[in-house]
Amino acid sequence: MNIREASKEDFDAIWPVFKEVASAGDTYGYRRDTTKEQAFHLWMEYPRKTYVAEEDDKILGTYYIKSNNEGPGAHVCNCGYMVASTARGKGLATRMCEHSQQEAVKLGYKAMQFNFVASSNEGAVRLWNGLGFETVGTLPRAFNHPERGLVDALVMYKWLAE
């Protein structure tokens, strides 16, 4: 598996992954009917960098990295990860998160924060905890899960600097 910085030309292969994850509505705060053009802006233009994870020249996952805030908070980054359903359970999210932490340090970030992790996304919460992230806040009933209704959203944080 190879993880590399994405190019704008990669978006046609990223789009099916984005669409699948966003339209499910159970893990991301994106609109379920996000258009391809909106997704391009959210995933390719707005972040500082976007990466793809590929195997045999097929994109199986993707993540972005961006500053969580500007000014005094610019040393904290935020990342978002998406994995195609056909590639789940193979450790891809783990590899992308580990890669993103290394890239974050290279880009000068000292910490990483996930702002809005649906508490119902138990696999992600378990993974982020296993990679050293702490839940530093809970937003009661902030995420409207399509099947479970209103569930908590978690704010998770990890200090990266040594």
Q: State the average pLDDT for the chain.
A: 97
Average pLDDT over residues 11-37: 97
Tally Cβ neighbours within 10 Å of residue 75: 15
> Cα(57)–Cα(34) distance, rounded to whole angstroms?
26
> Cα(80)–Cα(118) distance, rounded to whole angstroms?
13
Per-residue pLDDT of 78-127, as tens digits, reads 999 999 999 998 999 999 999 999 999 999 999 999 999 999 999 999 99
- Residues 6 or more apart whose CB falls under 8 angstroms from that of 112 comprise 76, 77, 78, 79, 100, 101, 104, 133, 157, 158, 160
Q: What is the pLDDT of residue 157?
A: 98
pTM for this structure? 0.95
pLDDT at 16 over 90: yes
Q: What is the pLDDT of residue 28?
A: 93
Per-residue pLDDT of 55-67, as tens digits, reads 999 999 999 999 9
> Cα(91)–Cα(100) distance, rounded to whole angstroms?
14
Q: Identify the CA nearest to 93 among candidates 137, 62, 139.
A: 62
The structural domains of the chain, ordered by start, are 2-159 (3.40.630.30)
Burial string for 109-148 (b: 16+ CB within 10 Å, else e) reads: beebbbebbbbbbeebbebbeeeebebeeeeeebbeeeee
Q: What is the pLDDT of residue 81?
A: 98
Average pLDDT over residues 19-35: 96
Instruction: Give the CA diameter of the chain.
Output: 42
